Chain A
Amino acid sequence: MIKHLDELRIKALLEVEKAENLERLDMIRIQYLSKKGEVSLMMGKFKELSPEERPAFGQKVNETKEAIEQALLIKKTDFENIELLKTLEKEKIDVTLPGYQFYQGSVHPLNQVIEDVEDLFVGLGYEVAEGPELENDYYNFEMMNLDKDHPARAMQDSFYVDETTLLRTHTSPVQARAMLEKKGEPLRIICPGKVYRRDNDDPTHSHQFMQMEGLVIEKGLNFANLKDALLKMIRHLFGAEREIRLRPSYFPFTEPSVEVDVSYIKKDGTVGYIEVLGAGQVHPNVLKMGGYDPEIYQGFAFGIGIERIAILKYHVDDIRHFYTNDLRFLAQFKGVGQ
């Protein structure tokens, strides 16, 4: 009888194995496991066995049942999976089709440059100072050591709105205001912002542009400190391999004054230099007007055009691109700095 159970099990498993669909599986289940199924009927033989044989036989019947049930379940799951897969196949999509087109935003390249420079200088202990664009000419010119007759004032043809108010020609008036606010205390600021000059717009000029000036006033500051700050800025902006070269120049608010060139590799492989910014040690008159004793305090200052940085960094060929705001231009700066 045990043997017969084994045979039943093998036969049932074989049939399960060969079953082609869920209906057939159901038939197999009925054939073996239903109340009148072949395995269930074997339980009827129970009475024919001696009490000693009964436990082993009972166990065998259960094992057979379980084995067949297990086989049925596995086979059933297989069939269900195949069916599901068929349904899923009908849901097939082309994963290569374009995705939902989210409009790509961007920060204006000039503001990206400003944020980049701000981050550097904040790390070096500077604060970021601001001031009005419509400025009193006392802050814009007089406090920068340009009196009414100063020849340098002719260099900066400006937009006056009345006798004493103009659109600032540089961000220096912010420095003037910051000095007065500090009331003689040491100072370390950068001032980025819009400035205006009476230049006709062309590929290299814009009547409105952006500038960033820096000003440090401390006791015992010297020219070597200025050179250090300049080199750090240039390398941060243009790469660690860059060098700077200084040339004598003139600004009314600094003395000595220098122009700063940055090195670059020319097409023929040699090193060239291109002018990027102006700098110098703060003129004693400017310190005095700002409330500092030039015999005790020294300062240095520098100023750089934000467009100039962007033009050099990204090889932009026309300053007007920054103000035309062609989306095809702006979109190119979507991931800078990330």
Chain B
Amino acid sequence: MRITENMLKKWIKIPENILEVTNQKIIEVESFGPLNPATKLVVGRVLTCTDHPDSDHLHVTTVDLGDRVDQIVCGAENVAKDQYVIVAQVGTVLPGDFKIKATEIRGVESNGMICSLKELGLDDKYIPEDFQDGIYYFSSPKPIGTEGLKALSLEGWAMELGLTPNRGDLLSVLGFAYDLASMTNQKITLPEYQITETKNVNPTKIEISTDGCARYYARYFERLIIKESPWWLKSALLANDLKPINNVVDISNYILLEYGTPLHMFDADKVKTNHIVVRDAKHGEKIVSLDGVERVLNDQDVVITNNEEVIAIAGVMGLHNTMIDDDTKRVILEAAYFDPKRISQTSKRLNLKSDASLRFERGIDDQRVILGLERATELLIELADAKVSSGVNGFIHHEIENPIISVEKKYFNEKLGVVIPEKKLLQFFDAYNYKYAVSKDTYELRAPSYRKDILIKADLLEEIARIYGLDKIPMKTIDQPAEGKLTFKQKRLRALRHHFANLGLNEIISYSLIQPSEVHRYQNLGDAVSVLMPLSEDKKTLRQSLVHGLLEVVSFNQSRQLSSVAVFEIGNCFAKGLETLHLGVAMSGTWHKNPWKKQEVKPDFHILKGLIDSVFNPLDITFTYVPTNHIDAYHPYRQANVVYQDKVIGQIAQLHPDEVKRLGIETTIVVDIDLAPLLDFSTPLVYKPVSKYPQIERDLAIVLDQSVNADDLIQMIKQTARKNLVQIDVFDIYQGSHIESGKKSIAFHLVFNDIEKTLESVDVDQLMKKITNRLSFSYQATIRN
């Protein structure tokens, strides 16, 4: 909604700080500035107009500006002597920051410019055909030397309101004036309408047979002359981005802006019966609306009929069968109050949104409906020479009344934390035009009919808060103490995030919605979940793995010559009936490096594995890694299930070379695991004494079949040596010419100790013998010297 100074000033004395009052006490102001930014325009009269001596299209004019006569060279074809025109003087700034300077055009001095509407910033589509090319001139004399913008009714400011759905009352200049009046201690006086009726009696008959219409009024007009609207009316519409059409349509739109009460006009001759019946539509009833489209109605829609056939969809759109055309002579003018919910449903279902339906949806002032009708009548008489039959015919189906709200006297002060004396409160009630009664402990209040949003105590609280001044309410710390804390899970997540960052990985956040065809590429958590109305195909389905986003980041950065990428993300993954928190890591390119020393850490499977182990080790979480090859996008021989407490919680893998090629990235290692089982517990720490006795170290190299996994051997060694084995490392892997093909050599470094006594060499020898025996037996391993 745009409020212009021009339309507002007739209702109220506008305060100097209109912007602040509006923005801080009424509603957010989205923009505020001159309606038209042009400066120093004046009305001039063309005294002489001759052809330019050195041009076949330019004219040399002299223009009377009141205090002087200036010579102006004008290129417009339609400029002529005796026209009253808008002149941009030397020093004028036109919209688009176009400064007018004194100049010479082909040898002839020119001091200013005679303006076209386009040069004044009007959109082409709004400019009347006569003035599409060339300058604008007034149809009647105007006082010479007066302000040009004023002559065009384009003076003053315009203010765009950021309307909220509750404040339907602000969808009109009058409605805004009421609220501004409350804030500035003024009262709105309604005008007397200048209506002279003919002797003919209004022939219409009105009936309402639906709850969807509370009241309905009609006026009957004859001998209406459809023509162009005067400039002031056009300006008012243009200021609100409404295209002027003709006097009758423009008046109806103007009332919408001024009163906020939508009107509808029927060609009375086409209505035929003069009998207006408002009823529920029948289920499946077919009609052709004004735009020529056939539409099917249902019983939630409200329709206007001539008692035989439908002539309008109430509050939403008229029908083709009764529309005004150039030959219309008699008009039935409708003003009504329709139920907001019914209009909302209909306009939504038929996808017919209009300025009228918007106002009905937000709730118009039912008491103002008749005023809008009378104001329109006044204008139709004035601007369309209409002859109006005597009398307004109406039907009130039911009264719409705002509720009486009972409020304890202490309520406002208690809930706002302020001290407003009763006298002041009552002044506020008066300012808002509330009807109220004061009893010993309570106020009984009823909001005026234009405030359909004041229904409960809390609504009144907001009213008192803003009229009192939100900035005047003090600040006070809550009295009651409370213990704030992060949960164990939240602390653990934070620690994980910082651990990864400190180790040298960048945290990323990526989109949860991905392309449906990709959803099971890196993980299958179950049936995919997709949004019903996606913005685009690539943001349709909820991810089941974080790898998608991680790889996109690898690709984005590597395509910008940033080859070293080590990133992680913690975020939710989804499947039907499942939402769970995942951790994902991707590493590609070089990680740490010192180029001039030719040193670098190139991430590989085991670097990422070690990284994951080192992050989870402090949390007493140990994973096992079981070879797998079920994910095609991963290297079939370099992928493993990450297993925690016998459950597969995710995978770690090197990308398949085909995948690397497809994405156009470098070799990349990824991990994606479910964090849910890892967050909710902590292992209590109990100190274990450190052994005082010296440790014994042994190396063990064995040769066995190359398919045996290292971890199986380690587990067997651990089980065999039990508590005396305090550390085991793999320190060599060998396959090649020195051993049989199909076999490998693997060497372990073992450290033994005992907490209670010095371990003797013989004890360790015995343990080593046990170990080698078991390895030989189970894996046909031979000891290598």
Contacts and interface: CB of A to CB of B under 8 A. Distances in A.
Interface of A: 97-108, 110-111, 115, 118, 121-128, 130, 132-134, 149-152, 155, 159-162, 167, 186, 188, 194, 196, 198, 200, 207-208, 210, 216, 218, 220-225, 227-229, 231, 245-250, 255-259, 281, 283-284, 298, 322-328, 330-331
Given A102-B592, A223-B416, A224-B474, A198 B533 contact: yes
Interface string B529-543: 111111100010010
Contact of B594 (A100, A186, A221, A225): A100
Contact of A98 (B167, B470, B596): B596
Contacts of B473: 223-224, 227
B574 interface: yes
B329 interface: no
B477 A225 contact: yes
Given A167-B531, A324-B556, A248 B504 contact: no
Given A194-B572, A248-B466, 7 more contacts: A98-B594, A105-B506, A125-B478, A127-B487, A149-B344, A161-B532, A325-B557
B350 interface: no
Max chain B Cβ within 10 angstroms of own Cβ: one of A110, A159, A200, A228: A159
Interface of B: 23-28, 164-167, 341, 344-345, 361-362, 414-418, 456-459, 461-462, 465-466, 470-471, 473-487, 490, 494, 497-498, 500-513, 529-535, 539, 542, 553, 556-557, 560, 562, 564-567, 571-572, 574, 579, 591-597, 599
B462 A248 contact: yes
23 contacts: A100-B599, A103-B504, A105-B502, A105-B506, A106-B507, A107-B507, A128-B487, A151-B361, A151-B362, A152-B165, A167-B531, A188-B482, A196-B512, A207-B535, A223-B416, A224-B475, A228-B476, A246-B471, A255-B458, A283-B458, A326-B556, A326-B560, A328-B562
B24 A330 contact: no
A256 B465 contact: yes
Given A128-B490, A246-B470, A248-B26, A160 B556 contact: no
A247 B26 CA distance: 8
Contacts of A248: 24-27, 462, 465-466, 470
Among A100, A118, A126, A223, residue most surrounded by chain B Cβ atoms (within 10 Å): A223
Contact of A122 (B484, B509, B597): B484
A255 B596 contact: no
B599 A125 contact: no
Contacts of B479: 220
B416 A224 contact: yes
A125 B504 contact: no
A132 B573 CA distance: 11
A28 B43 CA distance: 120
B461 A255 contact: yes
Contact of A281 (B461, B475, B482, B593): B461
A245 B553 CA distance: 40
B184 to A, nearest CB: 16
Contacts of A229: 478
A218 B478 contact: yes
B483 A125 contact: yes
B611 to A, nearest CB: 11
A249 B25 CA distance: 10
A222 B416 contact: yes
A24 B631 CA distance: 78
A187 to B, nearest CB: 9
Nearest to A149: B341
B535 A200 contact: yes
B553 A259 contact: no
A198 B535 contact: yes
A194 to B, nearest CB: 7
B304 to A, nearest CB: 23
A327 B497 contact: no
